């Protein structure tokens, strides 16, 4: 193929979009905005196939980036924060070819042209000076068809990889469910009877009651089931959550007390966002009202993100979180496993979905049924689940590597095509 370098301003008419996106009046014509989905407008301004390029950074805050550009044909409008590039008829440039080219090279061609310290923007005058390698019109059509064919195959492959990820998620859920139904390890008649374990737990609970850390009795929540949901091995026993654990919500100090740097007399204040990142860490003055959690202990979201938990937190925690304590000698790792199943998280989510913002009632949690195996079997279950979850981790890692390889292959093929090789 023979490639000619031409400036975009010679090949296209480049103009600013015709309407502020917020001022658009819904109608029958597509309105190209910065998002992937089209909005609508009651009038049209463009009638030829065109490429629409956002002229403002996708991330803002002094950082130059473009998530996507757009191809649009037919009658349409475009937001005023986009530049509409319409190929001139005499240029022999196909708009769809330009779309594929600029989409592939946007980070190396378009993003470096964006300027500004706060509002990072792309000037139309700079767009006009971009040089585009231009094959013949027939070669453009040939490449477009090849791109579409390859992209379709690529999407099918990515869809299959995503399907495999979904299967692994289902496998994880199945492993947890099998674990709490006595189907993941063999029962051992030599194990100490569960009834003996429960008696030990009762004695420890009485100590907690005496020290006023928990109560002797709790009201049975209206959403709790009257009977256990399924049969378990003969040497297991069903109990209520309050028989093997106790819990309490956190405390919210005034936001005016928050600081972003740690110092003497302050403690890390844990919120649900801290489960994923430390970038929003805050600290509050130490006082007796704060509720504390230490690494290794279970703290769970009780608001909006019901059931999401962490055992890596250290500090005070807010009221949207709930600390769940196992009563010794009940195994804490097994308790975490139970919480992740439909017996706990599933039931809490099913009830919370009825409200506008999902939230959990502690009484509901404490009223749930928990299957209790012998202590030794709890330990074997935890070990087996960890082993199987590590296998799932390895499978997911392989799939992620496959996704990266597909992406690299896609880039390699498209680059060779665009470079005329």
pTM passes above 0.85: no
d(CA 364, CA 317): 21
Backbone angles phi, psi at 373, to 5 degrees: -85, 170
Confidence of residue 94 (pLDDT cuts 50, 70, 90): very high
Confidence of residue 1 (pLDDT cuts 50, 70, 90): low
347-356 pLDDT, tens digit per residue, is 999 887 655 7
Confidence of residue 418 (pLDDT cuts 50, 70, 90): low
Query: What's the confidence (pLDDT) of residue 2?
Result: 59
Query: What's the confidence (pLDDT) of residue 73?
Result: 95
- Using only C-alpha atoms, the chain has a radius of gyration, in whole angstroms, of 30
More confident residue, 38 or 154: 38
Neighbours of 155 (CB within 10 A): 10
Q: Mark 182-221 as b/e (b = at least 16 C-beta within 10 Å).
A: bebbeeeeebeebeebeeebeeebeebeeeeebeeebeee
Query: What's the confidence (pLDDT) of residue 182?
Result: 96
Please write down the HEC assignment for all residues of 276-345: CCCCCCEEEECCCCCCEECCCCEEEECECCCCCEECCCCEEECCCEEEEEECCCCCHHHHHHHHCCHHHH
| Mean pLDDT across 331-350 | 96
135-152 pLDDT, tens digit per residue, is 889 989 988 888 888 888
Query: What's the confidence (pLDDT) of residue 152?
Result: 86
260-304 pLDDT, tens digit per residue, is 999 999 999 999 999 988 889 999 999 999 999 999 999 999 988
Length of the chain: 421
Query: What's the confidence (pLDDT) of residue 237?
Result: 98
**How high does pLDDT run on average in the chain?**
92
Query: What's the confidence (pLDDT) of residue 405?
Result: 85
Query: What's the confidence (pLDDT) of residue 420?
Result: 56
Query: What's the confidence (pLDDT) of residue 146?
Result: 84
For residues 368, 371, 372, 378, the Cα torsion angle rounded to the nearest 10 degrees is: -120
294-325 pLDDT, tens digit per residue, is 999 999 999 888 999 999 999 999 999 999 99
| Mean pLDDT across 174-195 | 96
Query: What's the confidence (pLDDT) of residue 117?
Result: 78
CB-based contact 311:297 (threshold 8 Å): yes
Query: What's the confidence (pLDDT) of residue 406?
Result: 79
371-414 pLDDT, tens digit per residue, is 999 999 999 999 999 999 999 999 999 999 988 887 777 777 77
Report whether pLDDT(52) > 80: yes
Nearest residue to 53 via CA among 102, 97, 118, 20: 102
Six-digit token pair at 143? 């490449």
| Mean pLDDT across 116-120 | 83
200-253 pLDDT, tens digit per residue, is 999 999 999 999 999 988 999 998 999 999 999 999 999 999 999 999 999 999
Cis previous bond, 362, omega within 30: no
């Amino acid at each position: 193929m023979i490639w000619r370098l031409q400036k975009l301003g010679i090949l296209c008419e480049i103009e600013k979009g015709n309407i502020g996106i917020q001022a658009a009046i819904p109608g029958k014509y597509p309105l190209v905005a910065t998002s992937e989905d089209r909005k609508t407008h009651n009038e049209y301004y463009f009638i030829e196939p065109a490429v629409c390029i956002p002229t403002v950074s996708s991330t803002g805050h002094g950082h130059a980036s473009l998530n996507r550009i757009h191809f649009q044909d037919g009658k349409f409008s475009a937001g005023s924060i986009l530049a509409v590039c319409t190929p001139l008829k005499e240029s022999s440039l196909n708009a769809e070819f330009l779309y594929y080219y600029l989409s592939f090279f946007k980070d190396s061609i378009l993003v470096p042209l964006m300027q500004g310290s706060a509002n990072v923007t792309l000037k139309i005058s700079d767009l006009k000076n971009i040089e585009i390698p231009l094959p013949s019109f027939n070669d453009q059509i040939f490449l477009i068809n090849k791109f579409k064919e390859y992209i379709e195959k690529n999407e099918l492959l990515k869809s299959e990889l995503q399907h495999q990820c979904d299967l692994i998620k289902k496998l994880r859920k199945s492993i947890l469910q099998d674990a709490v139904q006595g189907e993941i390890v063999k029962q051992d008649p030599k194990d100490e009877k569960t009834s003996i374990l429960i008696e030990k737990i009762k004695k420890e609970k009485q100590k907690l009651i005496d020290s006023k850390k928990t109560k002797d009795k709790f009201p049975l929540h209206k959403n709790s089931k009257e009977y256990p949901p399924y049969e378990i091995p003969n040497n297991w026993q069903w109990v209520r959550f309050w028989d093997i654990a106790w819990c309490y919500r956190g405390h919210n100090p005034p936001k005016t007390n928050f600081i972003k740097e740690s110092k003497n007399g302050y403690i890390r204040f844990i919120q649900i966002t801290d489960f994923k990142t430390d970038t929003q860490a805050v600290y509050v003055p130490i006082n007796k009202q704060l509720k504390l959690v230490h690494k290794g202990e279970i703290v769970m979201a009780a608001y909006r993100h019901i059931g999401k938990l962490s055992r890596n937190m250290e500090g005070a925690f807010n009221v949207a979180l709930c600390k769940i304590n196992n009563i010794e000698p009940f195994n804490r790792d097994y308790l975490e496993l139970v919480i992740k199943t439909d017996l706990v998280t599933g039931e809490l989510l099913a009830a919370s979905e009825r409200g506008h913002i999902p939230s959990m009632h502690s009484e509901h949690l404490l009223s749930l049924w928990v299957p209790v195996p012998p202590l030794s079997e709890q330990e074997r279950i935890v070990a087996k689940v960890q082993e199987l979850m590590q296998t799932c981790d390895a499978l997911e890692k392989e799939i992620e590597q496959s996704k990266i390889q597909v992406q690299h292959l896609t880039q390699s093929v498209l680059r060779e095509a665009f470079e005329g090789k």
